[in-house]
Chain A
């Protein structure tokens, strides 16, 4: 769920835009460099963007019986790395704002910060950390997707609490209110997204090892293993 158009006061909308800008610019620079060096990457990156967009349109059965959409940030971060996800996430959020009326243009900065920056970075950090300590791949994938999903909505709650502090208890009270609606209810959905990501990853390992190697997923695996061995030595 993204923050809707016009929901944030102008100062907050601008501030979140400014906070997101360095991450998006860094992603744009690395994407531009990649495309200049390997022109064929345009199509693969476009395919990755389309996959992220379609993934966010899948209906996810929740543990509580309701239905929601996966954020796709955890899987995206593992497959494409967080800097690229900042750009792909921005493109996806722009499409969602203009094609699906999800989110908005004035709240794009805030949504980018939660969904295309914090979510992927948190998920990727958990994934690398767990793999470094030899945690099985699918457990690491589950934890990465769970953390990426939940951190996205926790940041959304913080953004809303900063914009609308509670008249009685200020920021903390508002955080409790928005958190109970947008973050606590998200826990079963984060579990669902974790399970879905594991299922997708398991099938990808079986059927698309070539693509995963090209994306550097298995390279990152090897790096993690050699780092752990170096630390052990």
Chain B
């Protein structure tokens, strides 16, 4: 299992309905991209961090491991805003408002990423996917997504084992051997995926498969109290941003 999904399965908010967590987590993300970066995104970032490490109980080490991935892209992308091409300063020169724009972009992306991470770290995919049918996603698409999700872990595990076996047979010692091993790994993943699908199909056919995958979804109700509190928090953040914007700018 992947670290974020494993954390979601053991999360304190595991039993909460995905809608509760979507209102809070994705609401914070929407606020982060729609409010002025200073002080709006900074407030959202702070709030998301407090909720993640506090009530949601996400271990900071796991959070950092997941958070540094989008941070890498943000920093690389923000660096380009520091320079400008053309103009009176020469072909390439430092942009006058570059640091401010880069800082604002970093704030916005960091805050938005934490909002999505709040949702991802508390909501397992197995709770979310079956409920997408009620949200209007066609059932066949949800079924394909469910099979993809469940098969991905098995396939990742197979790939890991094949890679270990290749390494044990000196398959990574030279550049040519590494390429051959990698090609073999990709082809093996394809063969195993299709072999597993065919065997799964045979098993399901023996159990009266009619084209619908029925899975048990843990019972959960949308908490009016939780969603109301989330909406109040989001509204308070928006109001606070507009109140503080002028004095802090």
Report which A residues bind B (CB closer than 8 A): 1-7, 9-10, 13, 28, 31-32, 35-36, 39-40, 42-51, 53-55, 57-58, 60-61, 75, 87-88, 91-92, 94-95, 97-102, 104-106, 160, 164, 166-169, 173-174, 176-178, 181, 195-196, 198-200, 202-204, 207-208, 211
Contact = CB atoms under 8 A, between A and B. Distances in A.
B242 interface: no
Contacts, number: 255
Contacts of A104: 70, 112-113, 116
B116 A7 contact: no
Interface in B154-201: 154-156, 159, 175, 178-180, 182-187, 189-191, 193-194, 196-198, 200-201
The main secondary structure of chain A at its interface with chain B is helix
A231 B128 CA distance: 51
A157 B175 CA distance: 31
B213 interface: yes
A183 B114 CA distance: 27
24 contacts: A13-B33, A31-B141, A43-B200, A46-B145, A46-B148, A46-B151, A47-B196, A50-B151, A50-B155, A50-B193, A55-B189, A87-B144, A91-B141, A91-B144, A99-B5, A105-B26, A105-B116, A160-B77, A164-B105, A167-B84, A169-B86, A173-B85, A178-B77, A181-B76
Contact of A98 (B120, B180, B198, B205): B120
Contact of B193 (A13, A47, A166, A168): A47
A137 B80 CA distance: 40
Given A54-B189, A61-B182, A167-B96, 4 more contacts: A43-B200, A53-B148, A53-B155, A177-B80
